[in-house]
């Protein structure tokens, strides 16, 4: 197979940081080549060099046998290189059609003027959708699309460039199992058409399911390239973290107590229908389901962020009324959002400020804030949860995703909740931090915190939870215990097929 | 049935509501004060509408890129004085019009450069230059420039289409039509929207964000110049404060027209309707017999109403349930097989 892209000895530094050190990577026609490494290993920097966003300090980029140097992303597009970023980069107020062709609109001449040729763009877009086997209204605005649909538009955008090289950066981070399958179908058919695909993912399962080769990078350095067929998960993880890891799901046995929370007949028009569940003290209870099944919506409703139409919530047998999040906090619930950048943390503030923020009232001496008390609280969690930061006053935006998540959880735990609601606690977090966060969750359960955990990663739920509720169409459609939980069982209920 | 229903729903845009509101005002005025439709008054309204619209189109471009320009009014004041200087010599319209457009271009461009090169938020940068422009004028001119020749007021008094319609209407018509085509059919305009939607993503698409912002200001400048020229040539005396405060009406026209102040959306047709509605308020108050003191408050109320309607319609839209599409649904067996069951089994050791 022909090599379409070769990177040789790439070095890239940012002020004070050596981001890439003598990096090598190659991509062949018709292959899916995974790139994995922990957060901060340099994957994104590497991809930004391939797509012309950054210029390497030294090293060589060869595209289809020809050495190139890109000054901006348009030059990389012109060479047939397209990238789909982890956070989709669609323009929300613009239509699907405008998004697909943005920056390379098809033009037609009318005398001395050139006009955007909407007819031609429409026709081309429809042809691309046909290849991908998707149906979307080209005039729909991007803001009205779901995550999976946005990703489809991104792929259509890449195809509209007639890209020969496609880079996917964590494309499945916010997709459900079924959407992932649809995406994989498209990726495989592109591969058959000879497109070379670089696939960045934290989910090792996906690499084994989809990819041909895998390159591991660590701390900006090239570690290894292997055929997927001849390697295994443990080997990859060992390469990624530089040590071997043997326990991804360190779930400890915990004495389960009496009932902590019981929710009966919860309704929210058009969103939640007759939701019933209970969680016992010390349990870790998972909530599984497809995106849009109502898991996050359920968490938001019981925390008072959204208004419920009817239904009862009982804490330790007593009925509680929750109209807003303050009521929920008083009842002992704390919610940790799936989007830590947006709702979980104030990333421009320090680790200390984030952790102490919800309880500044307890951090006072007289009328002033007591920095010592703040430092003590923050320091305790930095130590306990192993948050990797040089000091308490370190800005959270400079932490890796995994460490940010630990700060987010610390903040919640510092409020001493009876029920900790974790929404996708390991989304976008690398393997090493993932295991650490699982360790923290298990440790919390041991210390008596009850945990309501939403996750789209079934292995995580199966590995961590005492019980799993499966949601579908806004209601609890099934329940499985730890002993009998398998992916097949959960999927069958989530898709509702008997 | 469903088809026509969705088509009807698509029609319920901001522009549609504005149009209904506009027609309502016109109908009410017909009933309440028939004199409102006197030729004289219509022409006065059209003239005001024209120069408000021309400036508002420029402001619309700036707001689309997620910026704001509160210096527009002060630039118009400067333009008025500059063209008065030029016009005093007896120079004809094309000469001082170009001088006015040039002045607008330079000043607005400067604003754009301040914002992008020094990375100052648009509202702060333009607030500062507003003070600068307004403050500089009285130092250069004492009070006003007066006794301007007939060549200066030619646009307002003699240049009439069919003998009645002010020539400013023609300016506005050509500019509006031009920008409507431009916003739909140019690659440039798509980039403007992209910048306003998501600067980061725009950069990753290869768009030079700062350049687009500067260009938005640079395009708005000459439009302010034309607006200033129409305002200044309405009489033989030009004062140093002719455009002061007008920026608020310009911004109001854009916002009323459905352009989001956070950028990334907005159509010229909306701005046309917004400007038209605002042009009617003061004369309408007069004809109904209310003091013109009321007109600012009424304009405020109208904008508030428009914003509330827009916010309610987005709230109800967001309430819809997300439904997972059924396409590509595999049989459960296939799903279970293709799902990474084997490779991803929990490994609790």
- Concatenated DSSP letters for A362-420? GGEETTEE-HHHHHHHHHHHHHHTT---SSTT-BGGGS-HHHHHHHHHHHHHTT--SEE
Percent of the residues in chain A that have a pLDDT greater than 70, as a whole number: 96
> Residue A434 above 50 pLDDT?
yes
Beta bridge partners of A110: A113
Burial per residue of A357-366, b for 16 or more beta-carbon CB atoms within 10 angstroms, e otherwise: eeeeeebeee
**A142 pLDDT higher than 60:** yes
Among partner residues A93, A233, A486, which is closest to B264 by beta-carbon distance? A93
| CATH topology (fold) of A259-495 | Rossmann fold (3.40.50)
For A150, A389, B315, the CA distances from B320, given in Å and listed in that order, are: 18, 42, 10
pLDDT in tens, A396-413: 888 877 888 889 988 988
CA atoms B204, B205, B206, B212: torsion sign: negative
Q: Answer whether A205 sits within 8 Å of B344, measured CB to CB.
A: yes
Summary mean pLDDT of chain A: 87
Q: What is the pLDDT averaged over residues B203-227?
A: 94
CATH, range A3-241: 3.40.50.300
List the CATH number of the domain containing B277.
1.10.3470
Comparing CB atoms, the residue among B201, B319, B335 nearest residue A491 is B335
Joined together, the tokens standing for residue A41 give: 């290993």
More confident site: B158 or A314:
A314
User: What is residue B135's predicted lDDT score, i.e. its pLDDT?
Assistant: 93
For the entire predicted model, the pTM comes to: 0.72
Greater pLDDT, B179 or A149: B179
What are the respective helix, strand and coil percentages of chain B, to the nearest 5?
70, 0, 25
Residue carrying structure tokens 């592109």? A190
Across the interface, of B207, B264, B341, the residue whose CB is closest to A488 is B341
Q: CB-based contacts of B214: which residues, under 8 Å, 6+ apart? A: B109, B112, B113, B115, B116
By CB atoms closer than 10 A (0-12, 13-18, 19+), residue B197 is buried
Query: What was the pLDDT predicted at A44?
Result: 80
How many residue contacts between A and B have a Cβ separation below 8 Å?
146
Which pLDDT tens digit goes with each residue over B244-292? 999 999 999 999 998 988 889 899 999 999 999 999 988 888 888 888 7
Query: What chain B residue is nearest to A495 in terms of C-alpha separation?
Result: B332
In a domain, B208, yes or no: yes
Range of the domain at B216: 38-304
Query: What band does B337 get if pLDDT is binned at 50, 70 and 90?
Result: very low
The confidence score (pLDDT) of residue B6 equals 62
Find the range with the poorest average confidence among A81-95, A276-290, B65-79, B235-249.
A81-95
Residue B105 pLDDT > 50:
yes
Gap from B194 CA to chain A (nearest CA, Å): 6
Among A425, A430, A456, which Cα is nearest to A441's?
A425
Model pLDDT, residue B334: 37
Termini Cα distance of chain A: 44
Q: Mean pLDDT, chain B, as a whole number?
A: 85
d(CA B47, CA B230): 8
Write down the pLDDT at residue B295. 82
Instruction: Examine residue B255 and state whether it is found in any structural domain, yes or no.
Output: yes
Distance, CA of A21 to CA of A23 (rounded, Å): 6
Q: What is the mean pLDDT of residues A204-230?
A: 89
Most confidently predicted of A35-39, A239-243, B268-272: B268-272
Q: Give the pair of three-digit tokens for residue A123.
A: 């026709």
What whole-number distance in Å separates Cα of residue B226 and Cα of residue B220?
10
Report the chain B residue with the minimal C-alpha distance to residue A496: B332
Start-to-end CA distance of chain B, whole Å, equals 60
Q: Where are the domains of chain A?
A: 3-241, 259-495
Examine residue B318 and state whether it is found in any structural domain, yes or no. Answer: no
Asked if A488 lies within 8 A of B338 by C-beta distance, the reply is: no
For residue A132, the chain B residue with the least C-alpha distance is B328
Q: Count of CB atoms within 10 A of residue B191's CB?
A: 23
Q: Do A463 and B346 touch (CB under 8 A)?
A: yes
Mean pLDDT in residue range B315-319: 54
B286 domain residue, yes or no: yes
- Predicted pLDDT of residue B2: 46
pLDDT at B19 over 80: yes
Signed CA dihedral, B82, B87, B91, B97: sign only:
positive
Say whether A208 and B343 touch across the interface (CB within 8 A).
yes
| pLDDT for position B338 | 37
Of the partner residues A89, A105, A177, the one whose CB lies closest to the CB of residue B190: A105
Q: Are A208 and B323 inside 8 Å of each other by CB?
A: no
Assigned domain for B28 exists: no
pLDDT in tens, A455-487: 988 888 988 999 999 998 889 999 999 888 887
Q: Are A90 and A44 in contact (CB under 8 A)?
A: no
Which of B321, B337, B338 would you mutate first to test chain A, the one with the most A CBs within 10 A?
B321
Please report whether residue B89 resides in a domain.
yes
Average pLDDT over residues A6-34: 87
Asked whether residue B332 carries a pLDDT value surpassing 50, the answer given is: no
Average pLDDT over residues A435-446: 88
Q: Which chain B positions have a beta carbon within 8 Å of A292's beta carbon?
A: 321-324
Residue of A nearest to B333 (CA): A488
Work out how many domains chain B is built from and give that number. Answer: 1
pLDDT of residue B124: 94
């Amino acid at each position: 197979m022909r090599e379409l892209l070769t990177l040789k000895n790439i070095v890239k530094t940012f002020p004070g940081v050596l981001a890439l050190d003598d990096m090598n990577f190659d991509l062949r026609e018709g292959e899916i080549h995974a790139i994995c490494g922990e957060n901060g290993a340099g994957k994104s920097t590497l991809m930004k060099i391939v797509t012309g966003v950054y210029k390497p300090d030294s090293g060589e980029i060869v595209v289809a046998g020809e050495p190139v140097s890109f000054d901006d992303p348009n030059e990389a597009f012109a060479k047939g290189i397209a990238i789909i970023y982890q956070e989709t980069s669609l323009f929300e107020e613009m239509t699907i059609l405008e998004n697909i062709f943005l920056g390379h609109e098809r033009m037609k001449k009318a005398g001395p003027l050139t006009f955007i040729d909407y007819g031609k763009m429409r026709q081309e877009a429809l042809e691309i959708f046909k290849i991908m086997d998707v149906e979307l209204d080209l005039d729909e605005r991007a803001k009205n699309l779901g995550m999976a649909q946005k990703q489809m538009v991104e792929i259509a955008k890449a195809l509209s460039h007639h890209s020969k090289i496609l880079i996917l950066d964590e494309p499945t981070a916010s997709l459900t199992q079924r959407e992932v399958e649809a995406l994989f179908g498209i990726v495989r058919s592109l591969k058959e058409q000879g497109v070379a695909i670089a696939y960045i993912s934290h989910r090792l399962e996906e690499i084994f399911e989809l990819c041909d080769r895998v390159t591991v990078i660590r701390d900006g350095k090239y570690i290894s390239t292997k055929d997927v067929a001849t390697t295994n998960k443990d080997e990859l993880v060992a390469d990624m973290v530089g040590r071997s890891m043997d326990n991804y799901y360190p779930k400890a046995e915990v004495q389960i107590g009496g009932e902590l929370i019981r929710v009966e007949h919860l309704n929210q028009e058009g969103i939640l229908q007759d939701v019933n569940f209970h969680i016992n003290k010390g349990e870790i209870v998972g909530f599984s389901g497809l995106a849009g099944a109502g898991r996050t919506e359920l968490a938001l409703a019981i925390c008072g962020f959204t208004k419920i139409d009817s239904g009862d919530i009982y804490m330790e047998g007593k009925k509680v009324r929750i109209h807003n999040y303050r009521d929920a906090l008083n009842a002992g619930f704390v919610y940790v959002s799936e989007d830590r950048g947006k709702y979980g943390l104030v990333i421009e503030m320090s680790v200390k400020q984030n952790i102490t923020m919800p309880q500044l009232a307890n951090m006072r001496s007289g009328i002033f804030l007591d920095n010592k008390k703040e430092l003590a609280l923050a320091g305790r969690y930095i130590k306990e949860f192993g948050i990797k930061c040089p000091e308490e006053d370190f800005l959270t935006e400079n932490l890796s995703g995994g460490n940010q998540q630990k700060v987010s959880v610390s903040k919640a735990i510092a409020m001493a909740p009876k029920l900790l609601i974790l929404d996708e606690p390991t989304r976008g977090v690398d393997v090493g931090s993932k295991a650490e966060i699982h360790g923290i969750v298990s440790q919390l359960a041991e210390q008596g915190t009850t945990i309501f955990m939403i996750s789209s990663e079934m292995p995580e739920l199966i590995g961590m939870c005492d019980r799993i509720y499966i949601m579908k169409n806004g209601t609890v459609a099934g329940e499985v215990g730890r002993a009998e939980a398998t992916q097949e069982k959960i999927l069958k209920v989530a898709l509702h097929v008997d | 049935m469903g088809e026509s229903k969705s088509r009807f729903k698509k029609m319920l845009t901001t522009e549609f509501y504005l149009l209904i509101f506009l027609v309502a005002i016109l109908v009410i005025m017909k009933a309440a004060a028939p004199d409102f439709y006197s030729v004289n008054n219509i022409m006065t309204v059209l003239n005001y509408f024209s120069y408000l619209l021309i400036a508002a189109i420029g402001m619309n471009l700036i707001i689309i890129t997620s910026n704001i320009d509160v210096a527009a009014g002060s630039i118009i004041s400067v333009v008025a004085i500059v063209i008065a200087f030029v016009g005093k010599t007896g120079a004809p319209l094309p000469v001082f019009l170009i001088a006015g457009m040039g002045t607008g271009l330079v000043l607005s461009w400067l604003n754009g450069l301040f914002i992008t090169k020094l990375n100052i938020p648009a509202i702060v940068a333009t607030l500062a230059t507003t003070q600068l422009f307004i403050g500089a004028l009285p130092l250069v001119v004492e009070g006003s420039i007066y006794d301007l020749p007939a060549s200066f007021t030619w646009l307002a008094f003699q240049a009439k289409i069919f003998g009645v319609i002010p020539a400013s209407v023609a300016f506005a018509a050509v500019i509006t039509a031009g920008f409507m085509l431009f916003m739909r059919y140019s690659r440039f305009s798509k980039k403007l929207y992209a910048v306003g939607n998501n600067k980061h993503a725009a950069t990753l698409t290869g768009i030079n964000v700062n350049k687009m912002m500067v260009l938005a200001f640079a395009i708005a400048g000459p439009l302010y110049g034309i607006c200033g020229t129409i305002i200044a040539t309405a009489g033989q005396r030009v004062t140093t404060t002719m455009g002061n405060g007008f920026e608020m009406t310009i911004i109001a026209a854009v916002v009323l027209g459905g352009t989001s102040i956070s950028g990334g959306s907005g159509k010229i047709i909306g701005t046309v309707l917004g400007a038209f509605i605002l042009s009617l308020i003061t004369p309408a108050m007069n004809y109904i017999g209310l003091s013109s003191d009321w007109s600012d408050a009424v304009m405020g109320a109208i904008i508030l109403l428009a914003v509330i309607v827009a916010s309610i319609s987005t709230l109800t839209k967001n309430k819809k349930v997300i439904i997972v599409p059924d396409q590509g649904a595999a049989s459960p067996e296939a799903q279970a097989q293709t799902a990474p069951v084997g490779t991803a089994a929990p490994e609790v050791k």
